[in-house]
Structure 1
Amino acid sequence: MSGVKNILFVGVGGQGIILASKVLVSGLIAAGYDVKMSEVHGMAQRGGSVTTQVRYGDKVYSPIIGKGSADVIVAFEEIEALRWIEYLKSDGRLIVNDYKIPSATVLSEKEKYPEGVIENIRSHIKNVTIIDAAKEAKKLGNIKSQNIIMLGALLKILQISEIDWRKIVRENVKEQFINLNIKAMEVGMNTSSKL
C-alpha cells in the first residue's frame, strides 16, 4: 500500500453510482486499505447530479476530495464529466461513459443538450478513456449494467490485483443479478484495455 488515492464517481440519479462505489469500497476494505467514502445525492430521484468520493490508502483522514485532487474521475454521463473536470489532477485519468441523459430543461425544449462534449473533453484532458457502456450493457441484455461496466474500466486502470472482484460483486448485488454484474465488470476491464 502507498499514499492516498482519490476516486470521484459522477453521474445522474438512477445510474447505479452508489452501488458501483460500494462495490469498490468493499473490495478495498477487504484488501486492507483504509477507506473513506462520501456521497451526495442532490436531486437524484429527479435525474439530478449524484457524486461519490472514495479515498483509500494506508491512512485516510477525510472522505472529501478537493479541486485538482482526483486521481481518477469516473463519469457515467458526458455533461457530468465536464461539470466535475476541475476536480481532476493535472496528471489524473478521466473515464467517461459516452452517454447522454437529457435534463428536464432539455426534455421540455427550453435548452439544447450541448454538442461536442466528448471532443471538448479530449481537447482539455490528455489521459481520457471513452467507453460506450450503454452499447456494451445492451449486448449483455440489461442497460442498467452500465455502472458495473464503468467500475470494471476503473478496476483495470487501478490494477489492484490482490482483490477477488468477482467475490466482491457476489457479496454486494442481489442474487439474481450476480452473473450479469460479473460479466459487466469483465466487459469493462476488457473494454478499457482496448482504448
Structure 2
Amino acid sequence: MKQVSKPVTNVLLVGVGGQGTVLAGKVLSEAALHQGGEVKLSEIHGMSQRGGSVVTQVRFGPKVYSPIIKKGEADLIVAFEKMEGLRWIPFLSPSGRIIVNDRAIEPMPVIIGAARYFPDVIDRIKRRAKETIVVNASDMAMECGNIKAANMVMMGVAAKFLKIRKEIWLEVLAKTVPQRTLEVNQKAFLAGFAYEGF
C-alpha cells in the first residue's frame, strides 16, 4: 500500500523593518525543526531600517526542495502590518488563512505624499482571503509589557494553526530571544495562543 506523504506547509511572514519579522521567522523555523522533517527559510529585506517591507518565507515538511513560496501557495500569511498583508495576499492559497495585526505603519512613499494608504485595508483583505483573522496585537503586546512583542502575540495566534505543540514554541523562545526579554515574549506568545477573537 502506497503511503501518502504529508504536504509541505508554507508560511509567509510579512511586515516592515523593526517589527521583528525576521525573529519570528527564526522562532517558527526552530519550532518546525522539532517536528522532524526539513525546514527551509528565505528572508527578503527591503530597506528594513527605514520601515521598508520585510518578508520571511518558511516552508516545512517531510521533504522541502526550495525555500521559495510561489504565488497562490501560502497556507498561512502572518501580517505584522496590515498594508503588507494586502500587498502579499496574492501569495495566499485559495484555502489559505491570513492573520493580520490591525496596525498601520505608513511607509515612506505615503509619508511624503507619493502613495496612498487605503483606509479600508482590512476589508480589501477580507474580500480576497477565505479566512481572515484580525488581531490587535500591538495593544495586546503593550498589556504584556512591551509593544515590540506584538510579533510574538501574532506567532501565538499562528501557532494554533501550525500543529506544533505550545511547549515546543516556549522552549524555542527560551533559546532564541535575549534573556532580558524572554518573560515578556513568552507572555505575549501565550496571550496570542489564548486569543479567541475569531
Which of 147, 150, 156 is 1:146 aligned to? 150
Three-state SS of the structure 2 residue aligned to 1:139 is: helix
Which of 153, 178, 184 is 2:182 aligned to? 178
What percent identity do the matched residue pairs reach?
45
The C-alpha deviation readout for 1:99-146, integer Å capped at 9, x for no partner, is 000112322344442111111111222211000101101111211001
Three-state SS of the structure 2 residue aligned to 1:158 is: coil
Distance between the aligned counterparts of 2:164 and 2:132, measured in 1? 20
- 1:41 is aligned to 2:45: yes
Unaligned runs of 5+ in 2: none
The C-alpha deviation readout for 1:144-178, integer Å capped at 9, x for no partner, is 00111111111011132285211110000000111
Q: Which amino acid aligns with 1:135?
A: D
Structure 1, 21-30 or 162-171: larger mean CA deviation? 162-171
Partner of 1:169: 173
Q: Which amino acid aligns with 2:183?
A: N
Runs of at least 4 residues of structure 1 off by over 4 A?
A: none
Distance between the aligned counterparts of 1:33 and 1:163, measured in 2? 19
Partner of 1:100: 104
Distance between the aligned counterparts of 1:140 and 1:115, measured in 2? 28
Three-state SS of the structure 1 residue aligned to 2:43 is: strand
Distance between the aligned counterparts of 2:165 and 2:144, measured in 1? 25
Q: Which amino acid aligns with 1:167?
A: E
Three-state SS of the structure 1 residue aligned to 2:161 is: helix
Asked whether the 8 Å contact 1:10–1:76 carries over to 2, the reply is yes
Asked whether the 8 Å contact 2:102–2:135 carries over to 1, the reply is yes
Asked whether the 8 Å contact 1:31–1:163 carries over to 2, the reply is no
Root-mean-square deviation over aligned CA pairs: 1.4
Three-state SS of the structure 1 residue aligned to 2:174 is: helix
Q: TM-score, normalised by structure 2?
A: 0.93
Q: TM-score, normalised by structure 1?
A: 0.94
Partner of 1:188: 192
- 1:160 is aligned to 2:164: yes
Unaligned runs of 5+ in 1: none
Asked whether the 8 Å contact 1:81–1:96 carries over to 2, the reply is yes
Three-state SS of the structure 2 residue aligned to 1:152 is: helix
